[in-house]
A = this chain, B = another copy of it.
Amino acid sequence: MSLKLLPVALLLSLGTSAQTTNHASFVNPLIGTHRMGHTYPGATVPFGMVQLSPDTDTIPYEVNGKYVPDVYKYCAGYQYSDRTIVGFSHTHFSGTGHSDLGDVLLMPTLGPLQLNPGTADDPASGFRSAYAHTDERAAPAYYRALLQDHDIDAELTASTRVGMHRYTFRKGGDAHVILDLVHGIYNHAQKNVWTFVRVENDSLITGFRQTAGWAKTRTQYFAIAFSKPFKSFGYNTGGDKETYRGFWGKFNTRQNFRELIARQLRAHFDFDARDGEQLLVKVALSPVSAQGALRNLRAEVPHWSFDRVKNEGQQQWNKVLGAVDVQTIEPADRINFYTALYHAYIGTTVYSDVDGRYRGLDQEVHTATGFTNYTTFSLWDTYRALHPLYTLLQPQRNADMVRSMLAHYRQSAHKMLPVWSHHANENWCMIGYHAVPVLVDAVLKGAPGIDPKAALEACVTTARNRQYEGLGPYMQYGYVPEDKSGSSVSKTLEYAYDDWCIAQLARKLGRTDIYNEFSKRAASYRNVWDASTGFMRPRMSDGSFLKEFDVLNTHQRGYIEGNAWNYSLYVPHAPEAMIGLLGGPELFTAHLDSLFTMELPDKYFEKTEDISRDGIIGNYVHGKEPSHHVPYLYNWTGAPWKTQERVRHILPRMYRPEPGGLGGNDDCGQMSAWYLFSALGFYPVTPGSGEYAIGSPLVQSATLRLGGKTLRIEAAHQSAQNVYVQSVTLNGKRLTRPFIRHADLVQGGTLRFVMGPVVNKEAFK
């Protein structure tokens, strides 16, 4: 049937089908909220500055100076198995392994005032409340829970910079809204630095909260508006020794005093509630100032319609989710897919006000001119697949993220691109300088509005910082010696890949000097190769390999978040050379097979941080990022069907449509991005190369709107058994190798897979 023959009405219907499908309804934000996923179930819009979500506990990371391991559980503030809600805070990371945030917690209560949160075992001992999942609803831009202790229906929604609460008091009485500025995620005794709150009038408060946590010097400004005037207010300092009160001591500053200032502060705002009365609260955030928050509030939500904010938020979601319209055989796969896309789109977040102003890494206020400033760059995770996903589906946003990273570089005292950047801070988490592959991949794929020379200069300056994490010795020895800097193999391999990226950009810009310098550095992976064991192995500055070397137990012995088995496979820019080191394609294929099938003894697993057994297949650790490209390596050994098989094995096991369905941290969307690419049938093994490796699609079909172009992906004969690719054609032209170029995909057209139940070794011939 030719489109030319279709009636106009039908054409319109086809053309708008994506809009009319409620893609947001396929998202279940509760996926990943049990155990390891570390996602949050609350209300947010795509890339929203506000992540308004229930927190179910507040375990500090240390008690009496001792580390509390259980703190990892609460990276997103919420654990599905918990039975109480402490309140609703406005900032959350999605899927991280360490954490921070949990700012500006509000909790509505009924009855006698309680200014401590109480305990999970005895919620009545504080303002927290029991809740049940039967009364809970989580959807894009919407969350609801019944706070049983207070008989209050609490609903949440959000715009980009404003969170909105709707509290329905099922029974009237003495109502309070607790503003807990002690509360935070990943606490320690010294975390709260300062709190400043102004009661502007009887329904508006402004202020800031300053913390020293994962972000060493972070300030969150806010403005809070109530739909009804409070009748009184007050605060306490939660047992914290109050700072010098001076002549403030002559006032009763605890009650109805319009400035609330302390290091640890919990405030209450008091109301008389009638049966069934609804109280609305709008909370705007700003990285700049309380007035900035107020401007955000007035610009984004100048009204008091909760439903309007919710509807507009869900429209935003439908727009970005609907740009990728997939059909799957199993409804569960569609839920997985859109939830993964949802998680991918909350991994990085807007960090500038409606007027473009933001706080920079130098703690100064800057204006983002011509772009939106973003934060939450967990780059060790996200350079792999999340930023390539953005480059494909959200190229303008990704370009803005790159511009945000370049601004970070300009503001850096260390003259470095971000490593792990959040909220005007560099938290230095993990290793490498993986803003480099993000920049290079984006620039080489034609990201708009980026000066390639400035990008190259930032990459080169970053990569030459001799103070950073063994980089001086790396430049001196050709590898990071373990005796000079720990996790030396991980660093050497990742530096080498990042350096290769720099060389690619340098070549593109005709900078042969830089190309040569960094191409040489890119070969550094060879310097940690130990032919005697067949693994990458920590090496000392005297040239010898580290003597103690158990390839399974490499905890803090040359590797980070991965063992020698997984990490030794990390040479994404030179897989053929790596395969050569391991004895050629056949031996390498067998080596890979061993990885996926070996039995990992418990004693080794126990050393693996923060993933569940579910996150491991054999000794392949999908819950940790260094493995993510590994299933695709068979494409380089002449055995692409093994990639297809592994990918289809991994997909349903590592991603299940249930709260405990993620086998590891979602890591700001990197785990989800792996799912999304893999489900569509290809994966960016080597960002910066311009190529994707072909896998085995999970979807039946997909329509991707890529700017003005449309890419249609079809998987003929798709089924749970038909995991083997028989052939692939792009616009009718057969692929003769299991790779496809980004530049070809973004021209649009149809990428057609033919699937079958048996291996076709000739699929790419």
Contacts and interface: CB of A to CB of B under 8 A. Distances in A.
Interface of A: 61, 98, 188, 190-191, 193-194, 196, 198-200, 206, 208, 210, 212-214, 216-217, 241, 243-244, 246-248, 250-251, 256-259, 261, 263, 289-291, 362-365, 413-414, 420, 427-430, 467, 469, 486
A259 B486 CA distance: 22
Nearest first, the 9 closest Cβ-Cβ pairs linking A and B are A258-B413, A247-B428, A212-B243, A190-B243, A198-B413, A247-B429, A291-B364, A188-B244, A259-B413
B246 A214 contact: yes
Contact of A216 (B61, B214, B246, B364): B246
Contacts of A191: 243-244
Given A194-B194, A244-B212, A413-B199, A217 B291 contact: no
B261 A216 contact: yes
A404 to B, nearest CB: 19
Contacts of A486: 250
Contacts of A469: 250
Given A413-B258, A414-B258, A428-B251, A244 B190 contact: yes
Given A258-B414, A362-B198, A413-B259, A246 B193 contact: no
A241 B189 CA distance: 10
A567 to B, nearest CB: 18
Nearest to A413: B258
Contact of A427 (B208, B247, B429): B247
Nearest to A201: B413
Q: Determine chain A's interface SS by DSSP, over half rule.
A: loop
21 contacts: A61-B244, A188-B243, A190-B244, A191-B243, A194-B212, A198-B413, A212-B243, A212-B261, A212-B263, A213-B246, A214-B244, A214-B247, A216-B246, A217-B261, A246-B428, A247-B430, A250-B486, A251-B467, A259-B413, A290-B363, A365-B365
Contacts of A429: 246-247
A49 B430 CA distance: 44
B257 A467 contact: yes
A256 to B, nearest CB: 7
Contacts of A194: 193-194, 210, 212, 217
Given A190-B243, A191-B243, A216 B258 contact: no
A412 to B, nearest CB: 9
Contacts of A414: 258-259
Given A193-B194, A193-B243, 20 more contacts: A98-B246, A188-B243, A193-B263, A194-B210, A194-B217, A196-B217, A198-B413, A199-B413, A200-B413, A212-B243, A212-B244, A212-B261, A212-B263, A214-B247, A217-B261, A247-B429, A250-B428, A250-B469, A250-B486, A258-B414
A471 to B, nearest CB: 12
Nearest to A414: B258
A365 B289 contact: yes
Nearest to A186: B244
A606 to B, nearest CB: 23
Nearest to A363: B196
Contacts of A289: 363-365
A188 B241 CA distance: 12
A555 to B, nearest CB: 16
A196 B210 CA distance: 13
A216 B256 contact: no
Contacts of A98: 246
A199 B412 CA distance: 10
B413 A190 contact: no
Nearest to A62: B244
Contacts of A250: 428, 469, 486
Nearest to A292: B364
A155 B256 CA distance: 50
A417 B424 CA distance: 35
Contact of A248 (B216, B247, B259): B216
Nearest to A485: B250
- Among A199, A210, A244, find the residue whose CB has the most chain B CB atoms closer than 10 A: A244
Given A196-B363, A250-B469, A290-B364, A190 B263 contact: yes
A587 to B, nearest CB: 37
A427 B246 contact: yes
Contacts of A364: 289-291
A365 B430 CA distance: 36
- Among A217, A363, A428, find the residue whose CB has the most chain B CB atoms closer than 10 A: A363
A248 B428 contact: yes
A256 B467 contact: yes
A194 B289 CA distance: 18
A241 B413 contact: no
Contacts of A261: 212, 216-217
Nearest to A215: B246
A206 B212 CA distance: 19
A674 to B, nearest CB: 24
Nearest to A65: B241
A413 B429 CA distance: 40
A591 B61 CA distance: 70
A558 to B, nearest CB: 15
Nearest to A365: B289
Nearest to A205: B413
A703 B237 CA distance: 58
A413 B214 CA distance: 33
A568 to B, nearest CB: 23
A214 B210 CA distance: 20
A353 to B, nearest CB: 13
A54 B731 CA distance: 80
A428 B246 CA distance: 8
Contacts of A420: 247
B362 A290 contact: yes
Contacts of A212: 194, 243-244, 261, 263
A261 B425 CA distance: 12
Nearest to A428: B247
Contacts of A256: 467
A20 to B, nearest CB: 46
